[in-house]
Chain A
Amino acid sequence: MANKFTSYNKEVMKRFLHPKNSGEIKNPDAVGKIRNDYCGDLMEIYLKIDDKDKKNPRIKDVKFQTMGCAAAIASSDVLCELARGKTLEQAKKIDNKLIIKRLKGLPSIKLHCSVLGERTLRDAIEKYEKKNSEG
């Protein structure tokens, strides 16, 4: 039994209480889905891809659904913001450090929530690329 809310900064709390990027995308081009082994949190990322430029497909829209704590929800929200408009090559470079930076920090015990974000986005991109390479 514990209460941790005060250990989050304002940015994390804002994103947690008022996420802008939550929800589903109908007919997504890719879905990333990872369950965190540490705590059981589940994150899903939906991607809509613009592939007019075949060599350089771009993330047109991205949304998340997360069953998780404040840090997981805030990480998801930031992740969507970071990924939107990026080419897949650019998006692959989004890592948990970038998520933490945009959140202006996470409590050390919550760093794994940002890793969950990184992994879920990569999972979505990998699935998209696999699907498209299979043609």
Chain B
Amino acid sequence: MKQIYLDNAATTKVDDKVLKSMLPYFTKRYGNASSQHLIGQEAKRALEESRHIIAKSIGAKDDEIIFTSGGTESNNLALKGLFFSHPEKNHIITSKIEHDSILNTCKWLETQGAKITYLDVDEKGFVNIKELEKAISSDTLIVSIIHGNNEIGVIQDIEEIGKICKERGVYFHTDACQSFTKVLINVKKQNLDLVTLNSHKIHGPKGVGALYVRKGIEITPLAHGGGHEKGLRSGTENIPGIVGFARAVKIANWKDVKKIKKIRDRLIKGILKISNTKLNGAEGEDRLCNNINICFNNIEGEAIGGYLDANGICSSTGSACSSNTLKTSHVLKAIGLSDIQTNTSIRLSLSRFNTNEEIDYVLKILNKIVRKLRRISPIK
């Protein structure tokens, strides 16, 4: 069966051109970038060229980019790295809709003496800027707010938050895993101090990401060793991955973002024609171009996903039934959904490889599925 992949917020297909760019670095230019010989220096050149591409894409300098293994490591390095190099301050401000790699890092930092403020969000998912400002105290070290949310796609006003953080003299970190190449990121204009970037959400390979750290900011490394990445991330660099990551950044463009947005809005419109459905999160420009999150009242998200899967459509759900811990989505909870509503949610996340034909098929199938599951459901 042909698969229609609508789970691009989980991970994406590696672009053929990305894969092609990586292959020589496995078998021909496979050197260690720390080696002085030719093959090593080829790897070093590829590493620095890749760094330049990624730095440029967010308006940063080359030496402000640290390559990591991905978003989770970058988020850990940002928060733990700052926390342990700044013992004079112990307060961190974040939101209730962060990715688990921020929330669980914060939880762990609490055991190390950190005080964490978890900001509420409104019903669309926006952090209240005034509340954020109020939460900043003389003990505050970092504000860490996710740029584009992975579940509901809401895009925070990082420029405004950056401005406040700069005025108040606190570091601002944003997790931009979902928004990178989809929403403009400019570290100068937006006053960003640390930014988490990642490759596999943008048609690059898995296992590679980056952390932007503004020049002059001290962080403690998580991994000690041979002093790679300015001593902030030891370990032989993943050159094929980094090359692929940079190529993925280079390929990404605003025309595709526009195209995906059009497909998104068509799909949203079609789904909302089904009775008793509700879009979760913000609308229009305040929403990631590829994110759709819908509640289908009175039927269960995992069941919808199961029927979609049986029809060759890959989706994701915030339902408790589908999580390993039987906990509902903390993001949907934070925007005010009840546990029952959360259990009826489905996330569809698009990419530039999706087509209008696919969307027509998805809508046709979704209509059938919802009708069938509502017939089975006792709640009418």
Contacts and interface: CB of A to CB of B under 8 A. Distances in A.
A114 interface: no
Report the contact-size class of chain B (Cβ under 8 Å from the partner): 35 or more
A73 B10 CA distance: 26
B73 interface: no
Contacts of B9: 1
B322 A4 contact: yes
B377 A66 contact: yes
A5 B305 contact: yes
B75 interface: no
B309 interface: yes
Contacts of A109: 324, 326
A78 to B, nearest CB: 14
Contact of B317 (A2, A22, A65): A2
A8 B306 CA distance: 10
Given A40-B343, A42-B378, A70-B303, A1 B329 contact: yes
Given A13-B310, A40-B339, A44-B378, A69 B326 contact: no
Contacts of B376: 19, 22, 65-67, 73
B98 interface: no
Contacts of A68: 300, 303, 321
- Max chain B C-beta neighbours (<10 A), residue from A8, A13, A19, A68: A68
A44 B314 CA distance: 29
B340 A1 contact: no
B343 A3 contact: no
Nearest to B298: A67
A2 B298 contact: no
Given A5-B305, A22-B376, A69 B324 contact: no
Contacts of B150: 1
A70 B377 contact: no
B378 A69 contact: no
Contact of A3 (B303, B310, B322, B339): B322
Contact of B322 (A2, A19, A22): A2
Interface in B6-23: 7, 9-10
A42 B359 CA distance: 31
Given A19-B376, A22-B375, A65-B378, A39 B298 contact: no
Interface in A54-74: 65-73
B320 A39 contact: yes
B299 A67 contact: yes
Interface string A73-112: 1000000000000000000000000000000000001000
B343 A17 contact: no
Interface string B299-332: 1101101110110001111111111101001000
B96 interface: no
A81 B161 CA distance: 59
B379 interface: yes
B151 interface: yes
Given A42-B378, A67-B298, A69-B300, A3 B305 contact: yes
B302 A4 contact: yes
Given A1-B347, A67-B299, A17 B310 contact: yes
Contacts of A42: 377-379
Q: Which of B306, B317, B377 has the most CB of A within 10 A?
A: B306
A34 to B, nearest CB: 11
| A-B CB proximity, top 7 nearest | A69-B321, A65-B378, A69-B302, A44-B378, A67-B377, A1-B316, A5-B309
15 contacts: A1-B9, A1-B10, A1-B322, A2-B323, A3-B10, A3-B305, A16-B306, A19-B376, A23-B375, A41-B300, A42-B377, A65-B378, A66-B376, A67-B379, A68-B321
Interface of A: 1-5, 8, 13, 16-17, 19, 22-23, 33, 38-44, 65-73, 109
